[in-house]
Structure formats: structure tokens, C-alpha cells
Amino acid sequence: MILLSIETSCDETSICIVKRARGKNVRFEVLSHKILSQVDLHRQYGGVFPSLAKREHARTITQLIAEALDEADLLVERSYEYHLSMSHKNKLEKLLHREPDMRSALTILFEGIQKPSIDAIAVTKGPGLEPALWVGINCALALKTVWDIPVYPINHMEGHIMTGLLNFNKEDNIYELSTPEFPATALLVSGGHTELVKIPKLGSYKIIGNTRDDAVGEAFDKVARLLGLPYPGGPEISNLANKARTERLIVDEHLVLPRPMIHSKDLNMSFSGLKTSVLVKVKAQKNVDEKFKKKIAVEFENSVTDVLTAKTKQAIYETGSQTLIVGGGVSANDHLRTKLKELANTDDFDLFIPDKKLAGDNALMIACVGLFQIANDKKPKDKIIANGSWSIEES
Ligand code: KG4
Ligand code: ZN
């Protein structure tokens, strides 16, 4: 069974082709995994610009699919002239009337290559930027139209959870989904989400904690911007904070930041006040030099990590979990990883955290959920509507 997955929820266009391996569990070989980042384009705006993201996805996705098929050894060019039927042309025109360039590119692909041996397609339906999500969905439905392949709509956040559970076996080149003890708790930390999720069993999710305002990744990005650092701010802040720790810089008393909601009884969080506190300190600072930036970066990272670990500890306790699964772009953060590992040791639970390379958005995570759904007899969909705020509880 070969599955092709598509991820276009934010500023990464990604295609992955996986081949399911034998065994009861979800096990697979990655035949190709392509991630095309738009970061350089969005940097000038200091964040992701949705209509630009959509345009870029539409411009690049077909070529990326062709490259992925080629790398997976599934691309066979036609040796004769071939034209799509009128019926296919009409369907594509209707489906892709908002993406004429993608329609032209896909038509060239369909007419130039033979139907590849792909058995299923998985595509991100949400959450994310709706214009961007539509590109992936419409592309998937176009492939379904012409190649007659079933399409599975996937929740992006479930993808982040499953990535945390992936084990890579170098010897046989196989990824395998771990089977942890349930109930589990997931900590999801990305550019759009900060959630604590109770997982009675894989595939079933209940949100038990949430941010009231900014997501933690968003806070990293905004604080970075206040310090004049480029987008995306997470890695920039993390870099400066690591330097501050190596140099053992002491954070002056007037630069200490709050730990918002750390003592609230619930599992909710808030990060927008933290960003305002940084703004106040930046404004009061005459000389925003490298040393000041390092101090703010390390104090901000410490504050966020203190809050996240405290809330996670409480969630683990309240849910009676043996397992913590971490996911989302911010799970690449070194300090957060260290502190969560320490917590797992002291509080004696199993920690599953993604390989740093797979922490950010990618199509491998969408493929993994797709295979999980197929293994659990979920049905594909004929019609898929992008949902920018699709909750993991509804997936
Ligand atoms: O999951 P993701 O790639 O995209 C969304 O689904 O939002 O997360 C992106 C977020 C960005 O806000 C980025 O600044 C943050 O993850 N991020 C980090 C690090 N690497 C990426 N935040 C803190 N430390 C990092 N090392
Ligand atoms: Zn994400």
C-alpha cells in the first residue's frame, strides 16, 4: 500500500510518499519527503502573509509532486501523446477555477505521465490558513478526479501528535508508531496552537487546556520581532537564549518577566501579556544591544518553559497519564525539551517527543495519520472543506 500526503496549512508546501510495511502496527518506509519552505518570502512581512502563502503553494505544488514521484520511483513518462478527456477537463476546471495556474500545471502532469501506483491520498483539512489549506485540498481532489484515488482529510494537530510517537529504525529504514500506555497527555505547541490534550486512546482527543490568547510559537515570533530579529522568531530566540546560558549571563532584576497564569487552578495559559511585558522593557531600554537581547531571550524562554512544564505536570496528574506526547514547531526548542525530560524523570512518566527535524510542519506527519486511519477502517471522503479552526476533538 502506497500513500501520498499533502501538507499546505501554513508556509511549508510538503509532499510525502510512504509505503506501508508488514505488521499489525502502523509501520512504513518513506519513499520521498519534500518540504519547500516559504520562509524567505514571508520574512519581509515579519510573519506569514496568507494570500502570498496560497499563491506560492499553488505555484510550486505540482512540481513538488512530480519530484516526489520521481524520487519514489513512481514516475513513468508517457511515450505517446495523450490528452485528458473532456469530462476530466471540465471537472478540473470547476474544481480549480480559483487556481488556474495549478490547473495548467496539473494538466501537463496528467497528460505527461502515467497514473502512478498510489493507493491513497491524505491531505491536511485544518486547522491552518484557509486559503493555503484549499490549495492542498483542491490539488488532492484533482488527483482523485483523474487518477481515481481515495482521499483522506487529516487534522494537522493530530499529525503533530503522531510525529511525537514515531520511532525510526535505521537498520530496516522503517518508521513505526509507538504504542504507549493510555490515557496519555499531549502538549501541542505551535505557531497557531498551545493545547493540552487528554488521549484515552489514539484517535480520540479531549482538549483540557488551552491558551486564552496568543499561541506560544506566536509569542516567540512576536518577541523576536520586538528585538529586531527575523521571522520565524522561535529559533532566533532559542539561539540567543542558549548563548546567554553558555555565557552564564545574569538577568538583571528589572528585566525579570512574569510567569502568566502559572498559579491558576486550571490548565489554561496566556502568552500575550508576556509579549507586552517585553515591549515595555524594550521601550525602557536605551541601548537594545546584543547583551540585552540575550537576557530578554533567556528570560522569555525560561518564563514560557516554566509555565508549559507546570501546566503539563498538572495535566499529567489530573488525567492520571503514564505518557506525555509533545508536538508542534516549538517542540524543537532545546530548553523546553531539556525541562520536559527532567520532568519525565522526576515524575516518572514516558516522554515521546519528535525528532527535531520533524517538529515543524511536514507531510510525513500527515501520511502517518492517513495510514493510521486506513488501519482503523476510517472511510475516505469525496468532498472536503478546508476548516481553518478545525478542532482535534472533531477530527
Ligand atoms: O508547527 P509549526 O511548524 O507550524 C504551525 O503549525 O504553526 O510551528 C511553527 C512555530 C513558529 O512560531 C516558530 O517560531 C516556532 O514554531 N519554532 C520554535 C522553534 N522552532 C520553531 N519556537 C521555539 N524554539 C524553536 N527552536
Ligand atoms: Zn504545525
Query: pLDDT 10s per residue in the chain (395 long)?
Result: 999 999 999 999 999 999 999 888 899 999 999 999 999 999 988 889 999 999 999 999 999 999 999 999 999 999 999 999 999 999 999 999 999 999 999 999 999 999 999 999 999 999 999 999 999 999 999 999 999 999 999 999 999 999 999 999 999 999 999 999 999 999 999 999 999 999 999 999 999 999 999 999 999 999 999 999 999 999 999 999 999 999 999 999 999 999 999 999 999 999 999 999 999 999 999 999 999 999 999 999 999 999 999 999 999 999 999 999 999 999 999 999 999 999 999 999 999 999 999 999 999 999 999 999 999 999 999 999 999 999 999 98
> What are the φ/ψ torsions at residue 126 (nearest 5 degrees)?
160, 175
Reduced to 3 states (helix: H, G, I; strand: E, B; else coil), residue 225 is helix
Q: Which residue puts its alpha carbon closest to atom 19 of ligand 1?
A: 234
Using the mean position of ligand 1's atoms as its centre, give its distance from the Cα of residue 222 in Å.
Answer: 12
Domain housing 264: 182-321
* Region at 126 (left for phi over 0; alpha for psi -120 to 50; beta for the rest): left
Best residue among 190, 236, 326, 338 to mutate for probing ligand 1, ranked by most atoms within 8 Å of CB: 190
- State whether 92 and 217 are in the same domain: no
Domain's final residue, options 321, 350, 373? 321
- State whether 227 and 124 are in the same domain: no
pLDDT of residue 23: 83
- Please indicate, yes or no, if residue 234 is contained in any of the structural domains: yes
- Please indicate, yes or no, if residue 346 is contained in any of the structural domains: no
∠ CA 93-131-149, nearest 5°, is 50
Using the mean position of ligand 1's atoms as its centre, give its distance from the Cα of residue 64 in Å.
Answer: 23
Nearest ligand 1 atom to the CA of 328 is: 1
Cell of 339: 525541562
Using the mean position of ligand 2's atoms as its centre, give its distance from the Cα of residue 255 in Å.
Answer: 31
Nearest ligand 1 atom to the CA of 233 is: 14
Using the mean position of ligand 2's atoms as its centre, give its distance from the Cα of residue 191 in Å.
Answer: 7
Among the listed residues 285, 255, 263, 261, the one whose alpha carbon sits nearest the alpha carbon of residue 273: 261
- State whether 155 and 211 are in the same domain: no
Using the mean position of ligand 2's atoms as its centre, give its distance from the Cα of residue 157 in Å.
Answer: 7
Sheet holding 120-126, edge to edge: 151-155, 120-126, 2-7, 12-20, 27-37, 174-177, 166-169
Q: Which residue puts its alpha carbon closest to atom 8 of ligand 1?
A: 329
pLDDT of residue 388: 98
Nearest ligand, measured from the Cα of 158: 2
- State whether 186 and 171 are in the same domain: no
- Please indicate, yes or no, if residue 335 is contained in any of the structural domains: no
Environment class of 168 (CB within 10 Å of its CB; exposed 0-12, middle 13-18, buried 19+) = exposed
Using the mean position of ligand 2's atoms as its centre, give its distance from the Cα of residue 329 in Å.
Answer: 6
Domain's final residue, options 321, 345, 377? 321
Which residues contact ligand 1 via a Cβ below 6 A?
10, 190-192, 217-218, 220-221, 232-235, 238, 328-330, 332-333, 360-361
- Please indicate, yes or no, if residue 66 is contained in any of the structural domains: yes
* Region at 214 (left for phi over 0; alpha for psi -120 to 50; beta for the rest): beta
- State whether 154 and 232 are in the same domain: no
For residues 193 and 332, the answer to whether their CB atoms sit within 8 Å is no
Cell of 208: 483540557
- State whether 112 and 225 are in the same domain: no
- Please indicate, yes or no, if residue 275 is contained in any of the structural domains: yes
pLDDT of residue 46: 86
pLDDT of residue 343: 98
Domain's final residue, options 321, 342, 372? 321
How many domains in the chain?
2
Nearest ligand 1 atom to the CA of 191 is: 7
Place of cell 486511519: 373
- State whether 16 and 89 are in the same domain: yes
Nearest ligand 1 atom to the CA of 192 is: 7
Alpha-carbon dihedral angle through residues 212, 214, 217, 220, given to the nearest 10 degrees: -130
Cell of 393: 476533538
pTM (2 d.p.): 0.97
- State whether 168 and 191 are in the same domain: no
For residues 16 and 367, the answer to whether their CB atoms sit within 8 Å is yes
The two beta strands, 323-327 and 12-20, are unpaired
Among the listed residues 342, 380, 394, the one whose alpha carbon sits nearest the alpha carbon of residue 118: 380
- Whole-angstrom distance, CA of residue 230 vs CA of residue 258: 24
Residue 352's alpha-carbon distances to 69, 215, 260, 314, 331, in angstroms, are 31, 21, 26, 18, 11
- Please indicate, yes or no, if residue 354 is contained in any of the structural domains: no
Nearest ligand, measured from the Cα of 336: 1
- Whole-angstrom distance, CA of residue 133 vs CA of residue 129: 6
DSSP for 286-342? S---HHHHHHHHHHHHHHHHHHHHHHHHHHHHHHT-SEEEEESGGGG-HHHHHHHHH
Which pLDDT tens digit goes with each residue over 118-152? 999 999 999 999 999 999 999 999 999 999 999 99
Q: What is the CATH number of the domain that holds 228?
A: 3.30.420.40
Using the mean position of ligand 2's atoms as its centre, give its distance from the Cα of residue 159 in Å.
Answer: 8
pLDDT of residue 24: 82
- State whether 278 and 150 are in the same domain: no
* Helical H segments across 148-255, by residue range: 156-164, 216-226, 233-246
- Please indicate, yes or no, if residue 350 is contained in any of the structural domains: no
Place of cell 515543524: 360
pLDDT of residue 345: 98
Best residue among 187, 220, 227 to mutate for probing ligand 1, ranked by most atoms within 8 Å of CB: 220
Using the mean position of ligand 2's atoms as its centre, give its distance from the Cα of residue 315 in Å.
Answer: 22
Contacts of residue 64, Cβ cutoff 8 Å, sequence gap at least 6: 13, 14, 15, 34, 36
- State whether 144 and 78 are in the same domain: yes
Q: Which residue puts its alpha carbon closest to atom 22 of ligand 1?
A: 234
pLDDT of residue 9: 98
- State whether 156 and 277 are in the same domain: no
- State whether 222 and 118 are in the same domain: no
Using the mean position of ligand 1's atoms as its centre, give its distance from the Cα of residue 59 in Å.
Answer: 24
- Please indicate, yes or no, if residue 120 is contained in any of the structural domains: yes
Q: Which residue puts its alpha carbon closest to atom 2 of ligand 1?
A: 329
